[in-house]
Structure 1
Amino acid sequence: MGLPAVLRSRLNTSSEKTDPSTPSTPISKEHVLESNDAGFKRATRMRRNFALSASFSYVLAWIFLVLVLVGNTYPRPVLSQTYFFKLDLTDIIPTSVPNASLINSIAQSIGLHDFYQVGLWNFCEGYVGVGITYCSPPRTLYWFNPVEVLTNELLSGATIALPTQVVTILSVLRITSQIMFGFFLTAALLAFLMIFVSPLAVASRWWSLPLAVASFVEMLLLIAASVVGTAISVAFKYAAEAQSELNIHAEVGPRMFIFMWLATGFSIWAFAAHSGMGCCCTSRRDLRTGRRVIRNGRGVRF
């Protein structure tokens, strides 16, 4: 039996509307793009997390850099234990020398202290059992000149004829110390600035290039300063203890080393995050310009 023509026509029309194989109208960018705030936040979540982690890394790096900068400046509990290296002259004359104890006592009575420890801005001196008794005033581009310190304190301003080799070493020490000072201070200023500008990377990839460059400069300065600080301290330790005729002991400051290398580590991570955001992770500008669209809560290429 044949169906009436009218009924057949209606059934055909209904099947055409529900047939999934029938091609649908192409979805435009405007339909796919979710312009609401929630959609943007979901799509840029990964980029936002990286930007915030870089900003937080700079917070930690800046805190540790501040500890490096203020270490050894004043005789206070934490500051007095943060130094690059420490010279121990308690028994500068070996006990094998006749009347060594008497000579050491005389040296202390006319101005020689038991220890000298050096920070970025100044040096501090003191006695065993008493602690720090004096810290020199903080000075820009400071460098520790042991000959000058001992001459002023022990010999009341007398001059010493130094060998050419010693003069050369002191000149190198002065230049490297001043370079380290400038690098640490500049890195601290850049780290503080990067705390606030790092989140701008979420807005656009165009921000990633200048931020990555600034991050690289800050990281490079900090690595160089930490390497120089480590080299100077270790060299001082070995040079001081190499004099077998003098009973001088030296030690590097563990807290200072921990602080500056932790700051360096956080800066390296922040640079890696900014470099990665230059080519990865969806930005808000990518969504607005249509370079990427939101599908299943993620930004994908259209």
Structure 2
Amino acid sequence: MGKAGRIACIITPMALTIASLVCLLIVMIGQLGNNGKAPSTSLGRDLYFFKADTSNFTGNSQTILNKVEGASSKELKDFYQVGLWSYCEGERTDGVEKITYCSSSKTQFWFDPIEVWGLKNTTVQNVLRDDLQKGLNTYKKVAGWMNWAFIIATVLTAAEFVVGFFAIFSRWGSLVTTILSTASSIFAVAAAATATGVYGVLTGVFHTALEPSNIDTSMGNKMLQVMWVGVAFSIASGLFWTLSVCCCSGKSGSKKMAVEKTPYTYERVASPAFGQQGHQLQTAPAFKPSGHGQSGTAYEPYRGQV
């Protein structure tokens, strides 16, 4: 197949690896602000795992803040969006949402509505249901592992892309790249499954516990789509890297073989009836007896004398 075929065989998994890396990086920039300001890109503003719509919360006289003794008078924003490293809050004006603040990013980040909404150190546990507190406790424990899983998957995918260049020259490079791809896919699947499960449960718990207070919660479909598309790219790249180990050796399949004549090759001996034509074997001169009046040129070992 040659080097050109080997390169063509590597292009597909390399492209899939890049696509997976891009998706993972997009997931990471969701709700990632800059010094408290809103994300600079539309993707950063629109991508989130979890959203709480509290726009109707402050207008209800029977809100949690009115029921809880010693609760903070902190005014709630219209919405809160949760990303991987931080959350953002904002206001809605004439149906248009605008992010006004984003928290600082943390590796072990998890969204705590009790603290963010100013209900800390109050008797809020007597008002909110136990299911909400249990859900928050589970979310806090799992959030750290989930964040690190995304980090490891991204680092391994980047390493997979770099090492993938060595796969152009040998199958050993493909083997090492396949190992990295398998590891990155495992962490990507684990991170995506954890995020989907945790935020799915959290959304359900929030909806059940806070629906009487007119707080609507939902998951971010765009974030889920980007995340799982990245996982699909990661798995597909691993499959193609595996194929590059078994196939596409990069060596030319056509080799010229020189046929050497053996010393015992049969050759036709010319027939005396048709003369000395064609290929002939070299033979010694025939013995001719010498007689009177003849001067033979052949070898005569016993020539008689007259």
Could you tell me the TM-score, scaled by structure 1's length? 0.70
Q: Which runs of 5+ in 2 are unaligned?
A: 67-71, 256-306
Contact 2:135 2:201 in 1 (8 A): no
In 1, Cα distance between the equivalents of 2:137 and 2:50? Answer: 19
Q: Determine which of 116, 139, 149 is the counterpart of 1:149.
A: 116
Which deviations, in whole Å up to 9, do the C-alpha atoms of 1:138-196 show, x marking residues without a partner? Answer: 1112111222222xx3x4x5334647765443232112211111011111111122222
In 1, Cα distance between the equivalents of 2:157 and 2:14? Answer: 9
3-state DSSP of counterpart to 1:231: helix
Contact 2:89 2:100 in 1 (8 A): yes
- What's the C-alpha RMSD, in Å, of the aligned pairs? 2.7
Q: Determine which of 74, 79, 87 is the counterpart of 1:123.
A: 87
| Counterpart in the other structure of 2:121 | 158
In 1, Cα distance between the equivalents of 2:9 and 2:191? Answer: 26
| Counterpart in the other structure of 2:46 | 81
Shift of 1:49: 2.2
3-state DSSP of counterpart to 1:210: helix
3-state DSSP of counterpart to 2:88: strand
Shift of 1:245: 2.5
In 2, Cα distance between the equivalents of 1:167 and 1:103? Answer: 21
The residue type equivalent to 1:227 in the other structure is A
Shift of 1:134: 1.1
In 1, Cα distance between the equivalents of 2:215 and 2:62? Answer: 15
Contact 2:30 2:84 in 1 (8 A): yes
Query: What pairs with 1:84-123 in structure 2 (closer than 5 Å)?
Result: 84-92=49-57, 101-102=60-61, 110-123=74-87
Q: Determine which of 10, 13, 18 is the counterpart of 1:54.
A: 13
Contact 2:86 2:106 in 1 (8 A): yes
> Which structure features the higher share of helix residues?
1
Larger Rg: 2
| Counterpart in the other structure of 1:41 | 3
3-state DSSP of counterpart to 2:253: strand
Shift of 1:131: 1.7
Contact 1:65 1:260 in 2 (8 A): yes
Q: Determine which of 215, 226, 235 is the counterpart of 1:259.
A: 226
Contact 2:139 2:202 in 1 (8 A): no
Shift of 1:103: 5.4
Give yes or no for the alignment of 1:171 onto 2:137.
Answer: yes
Q: Determine which of 205, 209, 216 is the counterpart of 1:249.
A: 216
Contact 1:55 1:196 in 2 (8 A): no
The residue type equivalent to 1:40 in the other structure is G
| Counterpart in the other structure of 2:157 | 191
Q: Determine which of 255, 265, 273 is the counterpart of 2:240.
A: 273
3-state DSSP of counterpart to 1:241: helix
The residue type equivalent to 2:192 in the other structure is S
Give yes or no for the alignment of 1:294 onto 2:225.
Answer: no
Contact 2:62 2:213 in 1 (8 A): no
In 1, Cα distance between the equivalents of 2:62 and 2:91? Answer: 16
Q: Determine which of 91, 102, 105 is the counterpart of 1:138.
A: 105
Which deviations, in whole Å up to 9, do the C-alpha atoms of 1:220-256 show, x marking residues without a partner? Answer: 1011111111112222221122235232211211221
Q: Determine which of 188, 197, 200 is the counterpart of 1:222.
A: 188
Aligned pair count reads: 237
Contact 2:56 2:214 in 1 (8 A): yes
Shift of 1:219: 0.5
Contact 2:90 2:101 in 1 (8 A): yes
In 1, Cα distance between the equivalents of 2:245 and 2:2? Answer: 19
3-state DSSP of counterpart to 2:101: strand
Q: Which has the higher contact order (CA 8 A, sep 6+)?
A: 1
In 2, Cα distance between the equivalents of 1:248 and 1:256? Answer: 21
